[in-house]
Amino acid sequence: MLEIVEGITFEHLFGQSRAMQELRKIVEEVAPTNIPVLITGESGTGKDLVARAIHKRSIRADKPFIKVNCVNIPAELLESELFGYEKGAFTGAYHSKPGRVEFANKGSLFLDEIGDVPLVIQGKLLRLLQEGEFSRLGSYRDIKVDIRVISATNRCLEDMVQEGKFREDLYFRINVVKLEVPPLRERKEEIPYLIKFFQKKFAAEYNKPIVKLSSHCIDLLTTYPWPGNVRELENAMKRLVILGEKAVIRELESKLESTPKPVETYDLKRIAKMAVMEAERKAIKEVLEKVKWNKKEAAKILNISYKALLYKIRELKIK
C-alpha cells in the first residue's frame, strides 16, 4: 500500500529521476536519526513533503509533526506562536498559552522558510537546538522538550550569514544534513507521472471524467519550464480537469511566447557552493588520513556527529 502525504504518494514525490532517487536514499538514511535536517530548493518543489516523509520514516512517526510557516506569521507574533506566553506577558494575554514548540514535544518541528525568522528569535531557536529548552514569553521558567528540528528555505542562507541577516551558529546547527530538492525543470522525466496522478486526483475531486489528452497538450506540459515547479503543474492540471485542455494549451502557449530567451549567466551562488564543498572535502579527508580513517575520532576532531560525518563522506564522495 502506498503512503499518502497530502495527496501525493512517497513514490510520486521521489519519482523517476536520478536526482530524486538519490534524495530518497538520503531521506531513508537520515530519517531514523535525530539529526537536524535543512531542506533547500525553489518554491513549489515539495520541501514540505520531504519534511513529512522524513518524519513518517522516523522513530517519532506516531508523535506530532508541527509545521510553522515562518514567512506567513508576522514577526511580532512569531515568537509567541513558537514559544507560547504566560498570562499578562503582553496586552491581551488574558491566559497562558503553549507555543508550537511545546506541541511538537516528542515529535518533529518543521520550520518552513526559516530564512525569514528575525535575528532576535534566531537566538532562542539556537538555545532550543543546543540545550533542548526554552522559556515562554513573560516567564523565566525553562521548559525542556525532546524534538527533532527540520528546516526548509528557498533562500541562500550562506549569503544571509555573510550579510549578517542570519546567525552563523544557528546555520551550522540546522545544517547538519542538507537536502536539496531540484526544480521540476531538472527532472522532466517525472512530469508524465505527475500529469496522470493530478488528472486522476482532480477528476475524482470534481466529479469529472478522465479525458485522454492530445499529443500537443502533453508536449506542452512536458516542455514548459514550470518556474513554479510541482505546485504550478498541480494548479494547471486542476484547471485542465475543470475547464478542458484548450484553456491550459492557450495559457502555456502564451507564457512560452512571452518568455525571454535565456542569456548566458555565471551562477555565483553555485560557484560558492562548489568551493565550500571542495574545502569540506579537503578538510575531512586530511583529518581521516591523520587518524588512519578512524571515523569516530575524526568526527570528534571535526566537531560533528558520527552520523553526520558518514553523510558527508558519502555526499562528498571521499575515498
At 90 the pLDDT is 80
211-250 b/e (C-beta count within 10 Å ≥ 16 → b)? eebeeebeebbeebebebbbebbbebbbebbeeebeebbe
Three-state secondary structure call for residue 292: coil
Going from the N-terminus, what domains does the chain have, and what CATH number goes with each? 4-182 (3.40.50.300), 186-258 (1.10.8.60), 268-315 (1.10.10)
For 215-240, how does the pLDDT look when each residue is reduced to its tens digit (9 = 90+)? 999 999 999 999 999 999 999 999 99
Residues 285 and 293 sit within 8 Å (Cβ to Cβ): no
- What is the C-alpha separation between 306 and 290, in angstroms, rounded? 17
For 13-48, how does the pLDDT look when each residue is reduced to its tens digit (9 = 90+)? 666 788 888 899 999 999 999 999 999 999 999 899
109: part of which helix (H) or strand (E)? strand 108-112
For the segment 143-155, the average pLDDT, to the nearest whole number, is: 96
Closest CA to 208 of 239, 230, 175: 239
Name the average pLDDT for the chain: 88
Residues 6+ apart with CB under 8 A from 225: 185, 259
210: region left, alpha or beta (phi > 0 left; psi from -120 to 50 alpha)? beta
Is 70 exceeded by the pLDDT of residue 185?
A: yes
